[in-house]
Amino acid sequence: MQWTLVIPLKPLTRAKSRLADTADDGVRPGLALAFAQDTVAAAVACPAVSDVAVVTDDELAGRELAALGARIVPDSPGSGLNAALAHGAAVVRAMRPGAAVAALNADLPALRPAELSRVLAAASQFPRAFLADAAALGTTLLAAAGDRELRPAFGVDSRSRHRASGAVELALTGVDSVRQDVDTAADLRAALTLGVGPHTAAASAGLLIPGP
């Protein structure tokens, strides 16, 4: 089964505000872009993924992510993360009716294509399914079969909302790279330990990451 991924990305100057202690205003946009580049590159390289749509209004990110093979969808609702995801899924399905779609965060710099394949293979067993993030409070991936609406409910504590929505929580081990989103300095440290992609490795090389 082949998936279309929908990846949301805020304008870079507003992204990753919880990393302000680690990366100042001059550095943080480039770091957020690097996370998205490594996420998109791994998604595009995943054999279970037929195409990747990035919902963003950021011009630079749009150019850079298109160069990696993503389709760029303007965030025309301009009403936040879940509206952007629902819009991205609708645009994808207008072009490819019945496409299986999965929302994936743009801040997974350690993402490995083989682990993403395992998660998508598991998700394909259910009408809707999700993967909890490394903190076990949020969500990094929400998947919907071709005949189901995505119904995204990302944001603080989204794990419990996605569970309450009837989506099946995927109980997989060995998929840490798909769970490891980066919101804080501790998350960045964990991602670097897992092994990040080349964009994030370069962008984080000069950072002093506060200790635990």
Ligand X SMILES: C=C(OP(=O)(O)O)C(=O)O
Ligand Y SMILES: Nc1nc2c(ncn2[C@@H]2O[C@H](COP(=O)(O)OP(=O)(O)OP(=O)(O)O)[C@@H](O)[C@H]2O)c(=O)[nH]1
Find the DSSP H helices in the chain.
Answer: 28-44, 59-67, 81-95, 113-123, 158-164, 176-179, 185-194, 198-203
Binding to ligand Y in span 130-169, by CB under 6 A: none
- Rounded Cα distance between 31 and 36, Å, is 9
Stretch that binds ligand Y, among 78-86, 117-125, 157-165, 200-208 (CB under 6 A): 78-86
Q: Are 32 and 12 in contact (CB under 8 A)?
A: yes
3-state secondary structure (DSSP) of residue 140: strand
Tokens of 167: 């989506």
Partner from ligand X, ligand Y, none binding residue 84, C-beta < 5-8 Å depending on class? ligand Y
The CB-of-18 to ligand X minimum distance in angstroms stands at 8
Among 1, 2, 13, 18, binds ligand Y (CB under 6 A): 18
Q: Which is nearer to ligand Y, 74 or 146 (CB)?
A: 74
Among 69, 78, 155, 210, binds ligand X (CB under 6 A): 155
- Rounded Cα distance between 59 and 211, Å, is 34
By CB under 6 A, residue 75 contacts ligand X:
no
By CB under 6 A, residue 17 contacts ligand Y:
yes
For residue 8, what is the enclosing H or E element? Answer: strand 3-8
DSSP 8-state class, residue 167: P
Q: Which is nearer to ligand Y, 14 or 95 (CB)?
A: 14
Q: Which residue has the tokens 């995204």?
A: 152
The CB-of-125 to ligand Y minimum distance in angstroms stands at 26
Tokens of 50: 């037929």
By CB under 6 A, residue 75 contacts ligand Y:
yes
Q: Which is nearer to ligand Y, 156 or 205 (CB)?
A: 156
Beta bridge partners of 143: 102, 129
Beta bridge partners of 53: 6, 71
Stretch that binds ligand X, among 121-129, 150-158, 169-177, 199-207 (CB under 6 A): 150-158
Q: Is 158 annotated as a binding residue?
A: yes
Partner from ligand Y, ligand X, none binding residue 133, C-beta < 5-8 Å depending on class? ligand X
Among 57, 169, 176, 183, binds ligand X (CB under 6 A): 183
Q: Which residues are annotated as a binding site?
A: 139, 155, 158
